[in-house]
Amino acid sequence: MLTIDVVTLFPEVIAPYLAASIPGRAAAAGLVQYRLVQLRDFTHDRHATVDDYAYGGGAGMVLKPEPFFEAVETLRPGPGCSRRDRER
> What average pLDDT does the segment 65-71 reach?
93
**Which CATH code, of 3.40.1280.10, 3.30.413.10, 2.60.40.420, 3.40.1400.10, is assigned to 2-86?**
3.40.1280.10
Domain residue extents for the chain: 2-86
Residue 76 and residue 14: Cα distance in Å, rounded?
A: 22
Which 3-state string (H, E, C) describes the chain?
CEEEEEEECCHHHHHHHHHCHHHHHHHHCCCEEEEEEEHHHHCCCCCCCCEEECCCCCCCEEECHHHHHHHHHHHCCCCCCCHHHHCC
State the pairing for strand pair 51-53/32-38: unpaired
Q: Using CA atoms, how far apart are residues 17 and 20, in angstroms rounded to an integer? A: 5
Q: Give tens-digit pLDDT for 6-37.
A: 999 999 999 999 999 999 999 999 999 999 99
What pLDDT was estimated at residue 78? Answer: 60
